[in-house]
Amino acid sequence: MRIFIAIVFLIVVSLIDLAFTPYFSLLHVKPYAIILFLYFFTLKSPPLSALIVAGFTGFLYDIFSPDWFGLHMIAFSTFVYVEIALRDRVFWERMGSLIVLFAGAFFVRLVVDVPFYAGFLKSFISVFTSVLPGAVINLLAGLVVKIIIDSTQRNAL
Amino acid sequence: MKKSLNIVYGLILLTGVVFLLSERSGSMIGEGIAYRTILPFRVMLNNFHELIRAKEENDALSRMAVALSLKLQELREVQVENQRLKKILGFVQEQHRLIQPVQVVNILTEAGNTIMICKKKPYTIVKPDLPVVGYNGLIGKVKEVVDDYLRIQTIAHSMTRVAVIDSRSRVFGILKWEGALYLYGVPLTGDVKVGDTLVTSGMGAVYPKGIKVGVIKRVARNKNDYQATILVEPFENLSFQEEVFILVKP
């Protein structure tokens, strides 16, 4: 059941990211809901399955943007791998732990979104116009999701 | 951290790097998979986007239709008011004309003058001096009727004179063909500009008021002349027409 829900979530989130981005983008910044999914999925799932899901999701995203095939795989799996590595060192119940999400979102966007091939200046500008605002959006969305998850867990108790 | 986890991560990383380095093969794999598995969903989503776009377009068109409907109502009110005022002032009401299509069978150019030969339907009554129009504007007038055939003297004929007014400034003039269409009778100070539209003025009793004739192409004001030389381009192509329409009084 848990796997089924995760797959449904993955499909929905991928659809939101890949198909409906034009309707969800804020100030021309892509929302990248998949980062949120991977972040929370990694916290709640066994490390190995989280890593495999990250790799598979990256592959899926690469299919849709085949110009730099493999980039999403590397970015997503690295993000999840670092999160797994930090698992025992962070108090995930605290809101401050969302800094990991912010850093992860920043990293993924830095790898995926910055047009390094277009020269230093363009890359540098896009860090401030795309990467940083995107990471902030992810952080805020993560905050909302965390509040929702915490409240549902409290109600369950 | 478990060893297996490191191995899996290493494998994923390696796969990504291999794809990245051999960019073309990665693209081919991606394209192949996308084509076979994800394309139908992609098509479905594209259709969904199309549906949303169509809905937006539909909304915009609906708004435009409402705006035009309001405008039409407003114009109908103006028309009624216009008719009422004309009645009060004792204006003679212009008779509504029937449109009689005729087929052009030949176009003759004699000494630079263009004449159209048309064939009308049997038993339809067409008399000389009735105005002839095309889809875009005035063509000329019926000159002669022989059996089912008509001879139409176009505005590209030296014998044709058409009383027109500038639709913007209401300046009056006479159109005349002299190898090209010229507007006469406009003084040097007359308010005519390039791009102004000329319509029939209704004077002369042949052409009813308000038929579009042409657009002003050039205005030359020579101080030695007493009137401006104005070149006009007709709206209708007078060298080729398949069918024209006669405005018949009922």
Report the C-alpha gap between A7 and A37 in whole angstroms.
Answer: 11
Residue B17 contacts A, CB cutoff 8 Å: yes
- Calpha distance B112→B71 (Å, rounded): 45
pLDDT of residue A95: 76
Residue type, A30: K
Cβ separation of B15 and A81 shorter than 8 Å? no
What pLDDT is stored for residue B218 in this prediction? 92
Q: Which of B4, B5, B6, B12 to mutate to test the interface with A (most CBs of A within 10 A)?
A: B12
A69 close contact with B: CB closer than 8 A: yes
pLDDT, greater one: B152 or B41 = B152
Other residues' Cβ atoms within 10 Å of the Cβ of residue B50: 10
A111 inside 8 A of chain B by CB: no
List Cβ neighbours of A107 (8 Å cut-off, separation of 6 or more). A75, A78, A79
pLDDT, tens only, A62-106: 877 767 778 888 899 999 999 888 887 777 777 778 888 899 989
Distance CA B209, CA B167 (A): 11
Q: What is the mean pLDDT of residues B108-129?
A: 86
**Separation between Cα atoms, residue B173 and residue B196, nearest integer Å:** 13
Say if residue A25's pLDDT is above 80. Answer: no
Instruction: Kindly list the distances between the CA atom of residue B27 and the CA atoms of A3, A23, A141, A157, in Å, as whole numbers in the listed order.
Output: 30, 27, 32, 49
Give me the residue label for tokens 């025992």.
A88
Q: Which residues does chain A have within 8 Å of residue B48's beta carbon, measured at their own beta carbons?
A: 19
Interface confidence: ipTM more than 0.85? no
pLDDT, residue B151, reads: 93
- Take residue B167 and report the two structure tokens written for it: 């639709």
Q: How many CB pairs under 8 A join A and B?
A: 75
Reported as a single tens digit per residue, the pLDDT across A96-155 is 788 888 999 899 888 887 777 667 777 788 788 888 888 888 888 888 888 888 888 777
pLDDT of residue B183: 92
Phi, psi of A105 (to 5 degrees): -60, -40
Please name the member of A69, A78, A85 whose beta carbon is closest to the beta carbon of B26.
A69
Q: Are B98 and B133 in contact (CB under 8 A)?
A: no
Average the pLDDT over each of A26-30, B57-61, B65-69, B180-184 and give the range with the smallest value: A26-30
pLDDT of residue A149: 82
CA angle A57, A22, A69 (to 5 degrees): 35
Which CATH architecture is the domain B161-234 placed in? Beta Barrel (2.40)
Of B5, B27, B33, the CB nearest to A84: B5
For A63, the closest of B9, B17, B34 (CB atoms) is B34
**Stretch among B21-30, B130-139, B227-236 having the lowest mean pLDDT:** B21-30
The domain ranges of chain B are 1-95, 98-155+240-248, 161-234
What are the phi and psi torsion angles at B177 (to 5°)? -95, 125
Query: Which one, of A134, A145, A56, A67, lies nearest residue A102 by Cα?
Result: A134
How far is it, in rounded angstroms, from Cα B198 to Cα B170?
9
Q: What is the pLDDT of residue B213?
A: 92
Instruction: Give the H or E element holding residue A126.
Output: helix A120-126
Residues B3-61: pLDDT tens digits?
888 888 888 888 888 777 765 555 566 666 656 666 666 677 778 888 888 999 999 99
Instruction: For residues B89-112, give the mean pLDDT.
Output: 81
Q: Residue range B165-187: average pLDDT?
A: 91
- Tell me the domain boundaries of chain A: 2-156
CB atoms within 10 A of CB B12: 25
For residue A27, what pLDDT is reported?
Answer: 63
If you measure CA to CA, which chain B residue comes closest to A15? B45
Second CATH level (architecture) for the domain B98-155+240-248: Beta Barrel (2.40)
Q: pLDDT digit string (tens) for B46-87?
A: 788 888 889 999 999 999 999 999 999 999 999 989 888 888
Does domain A2-156 bear CATH number 1.10.1760? yes
Give the pLDDT of residue B64: 92
pLDDT band at A47 (very low <50, low <70, confident <90, very high): confident
Listed residue (B150, B148, B152) closest to B206, CA to CA: B152
Phi, then psi, of B93 in degrees rounded to 5: -75, 130
CB-based contact, A1 to chain B, within 8 Å: no
pLDDT at B133: 92
pLDDT score of B31: 64
Amino acid B217: pLDDT: 93
SS3 label, residue B149: strand
Hey, are the CB atoms on B38 and A63 less than 8 Å from each other? yes
Given a cut of 60, whether residue B144 has pLDDT beyond it is: yes
The pLDDT mean for chain B works out to 85
Is the confidence at residue B175, as pLDDT, over 90? yes
A71 to chain B, any CB pair closer than 8 A? The answer is: yes
| B164 close to B184: Cβ distance less than 8 angstroms | no
Equal fold, B98-155+240-248 vs B161-234: yes
List, in sequence order, every beta strand (DSSP E) within chain B.
Answer: 98-110, 113-119, 131-133, 138-146, 149-154, 161-166, 172-177, 181-184, 197-200, 212-220, 229-234, 243-248
**pLDDT interval class at A4 (50, 70, 90):** confident
Q: B37 vs chain A: nearest CA distance in angstroms? A: 11
Taking 80 as the threshold, does the pLDDT of residue B248 lie above it?
yes
- How would residue B214 be classed by pLDDT, with cut points 50, 70 and 90? very high
